[in-house]
Structure 1
Amino acid sequence: MQVNKLHTLLGHNDCIYALCEGSDPRYFYTGSGDGMVVEWDLDEPKDGKLIAKLDHSVYALAVDKQRNLLFVGHNFDGVHAIDLGDNKELWSLKLTDQAIFDIKVFGNELYVGTGDGVLIVLDIEERSQKKHIKLSSKSIRVMSIASSKRHLALGLSDNSIKVLDLVNDFKPIANLTGHTNSVFALGYSPDEKFLISGSRDAHLKIWDTINYFLDEDIVAHMYAINYLYFSENGKYLATCSMDKSIKVWDFEERKLKKVLDKARNAGHGTSINKVFWSTYTGQLVAVSDDRSISIWQIETQIV
């Protein structure tokens, strides 16, 4: 597997925590501790465009492709909806005095995971709160949706993963235990046969979604796993960590294929917080505490 570092992008003044692909995948968005939300163009990546400047840090971003909106999780405040057609804020809702660690769009609903363990459900069309579900006294750190199954998985700082039924009014389906520290990373495989979790305990766990049983446990990194992301076809999985590395796994074979780090691939020198595979270019994009964004070209046939 050949890796070529293409770009290092600068512009944020604080750690970058949030990253997501646009409804037009030529663009992606970043949010950071400086409260800035920036749009980047993969065709001309060097110059980012500031589209929002908020008072507090931004840990979470989510794109609503149906409405061409970008939702911004504004810590200690709420959510902001930005129209990606003209990059203007359409509306905002004050929701919480807690951190917002993740947000997800599903149909007409927006799910907001907060630092006090509450899942807030918003009606996007009505621009209103529908439901508050208290799941834990600890933070909801990450969420993933299995669209076909209509399952919502949530990773928490109480070390658990909770799976809720989106068809039957958020009824609990499973409570997965096994991690020994906060669950920061979570993702369903594209075929929804597996749920993969990564934790501050540095373990990667693979859960079979038929009955949500543990299929495999991998000691994947030296320190906390911050995020994970599948390639579009589901063959490869990227994980990023507080240990300053990105690892690319052959998910079908359950084998480590490549380590991207500072020494070998001009990688990041501090914790890597988010990563995604671009569906536009097949490139791997990552953001870090070092305030920079990295873009790598990896053998195109893998994605």
Structure 2
Amino acid sequence: MSKIQVNKLHTLTGHNDCIYALTEGSDPRFFYTGAGDGMVVEWDLDKPKDGKLIAKLPHSVYALEVDRSRNILVIGHNFEGIHIIDLNENKELWSLKLTDQAIFDIKVYGNEIFVGTGDGVLVIVDIPSQSVKKHIKLSSKSIRVMAVASHKKQLALGLSDHTIKILDLANVFHPIANLTGHNNSVFALGYSPNEEWLVSGARDAQLKFWNTSNYSLSENIVAHMYAINYLSYHEDGKYLVTCSMDKSIKIWDLEERKLLKVIDKARNAGHGTSVNKVIWSSYSGQVISVSDDRTISIWQIEAVD
């Protein structure tokens, strides 16, 4: 098992409210943040101090997703719908009024955009026709997070009713499984790069490992002190990073399911409040985190054998 060394490279500022959304660009040198101030900002890992305003909306932005094949950014605009930004031209292409609810997560799959809303509805948007194809009511509670297994053609959704629902993308969103075990809202969800595992994290501070061959629960870890807000994999599939309302970021060995490193304020000059999203950059191997403290941190993570 490797030892992990952590070095904080940058603290980025510019947002005027809690930062909720974070996603990597088609060119992973760039990443995008969205916040309670309605601002969506593009950042360049080669010149991280120079954020560029992409959009300014009247309501909070909880969800961002990049369609890599088209190089467009999908912005979830709370209580409204989605805005589609051409990242080549930095201009809005189109928008769609979808909901009067919060939009907690967005995923792009082929020609479709999946939008998860605060009233438990999955909205399927067709990109070519710029129109709604389908509404699927999954729960009376919020859809908080989604994950796509592209090869398995499956969509996992974490909900505030404590469940994880698995839908078949090859068969008109037919339900495959309903996973129970968390005892609070599921906020974090991700398929491993090889799609053999689905890992979930919830407001109950537990991390669960599900075997995707039959969606049986393989392991449960009490991973944080408070809610697990998000998780992200290193692209080699060996490591997992989680972030929490407990203000910490944790690095895990995926195979051994062991905690390797805690990144926090006391040890690493980490965030002072809830860490809301984290991604493991496929460009630099750095970890990017965003927080209620209105800052973005960029961390150099190195495994030392």
Same fold (TM over 0.5): yes
Q: Which residue in 1 is equivalent to 2:37?
A: 34
Q: Contact 1:182–1:199 at 8 Å: present in 2 too?
A: yes
Q: Which residue in 2 is equivalent to 1:225?
A: 228
2:9 to 6, 13, 32: 6
Question: Secondary structure of 1:50's match?
Answer: strand
1:283 partnered with 2:296: no
Q: Which residue in 1 is equivalent to 2:297?
A: 294
2:85 to 74, 79, 82: 82
1:103 partnered with 2:129: no
Q: Which residue in 2 is equivalent to 1:52?
A: 55
**Runs (4+) of structure 1 moved beyond 3 Å?**
none
Question: Secondary structure of 2:79's match?
Answer: coil
1:198 partnered with 2:201: yes
1:251 to 254, 259, 273: 254
Q: Contact 1:142–1:154 at 8 Å: present in 2 too?
A: yes
Residue 300 of structure 1 and its aligned partner are, at CA, apart by: 6.3
After superposition, the C-alpha distances for 1:164-202 in whole angstroms (9 at most, x for unaligned) are 000110000000000000000000001000100000000
Look up the equivalent residue of 1:97 and give its one-letter code. D
Structure 2 unpaired stretches of 5+ = none
Q: Contact 2:5–2:303 at 8 Å: present in 1 too?
A: no
Q: Contact 1:282–1:300 at 8 Å: present in 2 too?
A: no
- What is the CA–CA distance in structure 1 between the aligned matches of 2:251 and 2:57, rounded to whole Å? 34
Q: What root-mean-square deviation, in Å, do the aligned CA atoms of Structure 1 and Structure 2 show?
A: 0.9
Q: Contact 2:5–2:304 at 8 Å: present in 1 too?
A: no
Look up the equivalent residue of 1:181 and give its one-letter code. N
Q: TM (normalized to structure 1)?
A: 0.99
- What is the CA–CA distance in structure 1 between the aligned matches of 2:50 and 2:274, rounded to whole Å? 23
Q: Which residue in 2 is equivalent to 1:153?
A: 156
Q: Which residue in 1 is equivalent to 2:146?
A: 143
- What is the CA–CA distance in structure 2 between the aligned matches of 1:15 and 1:296, rounded to whole Å? 19
1:93 partnered with 2:96: yes
Question: Secondary structure of 2:108's match?
Answer: strand
- What is the CA–CA distance in structure 2 between the aligned matches of 1:206 and 1:301, rounded to whole Å? 26
- What is the CA–CA distance in structure 2 between the aligned matches of 1:193 and 1:177, rounded to whole Å? 19
After superposition, the C-alpha distances for 1:15-69 in whole angstroms (9 at most, x for unaligned) are 0000000001110000000000000010000120001000100000000011000
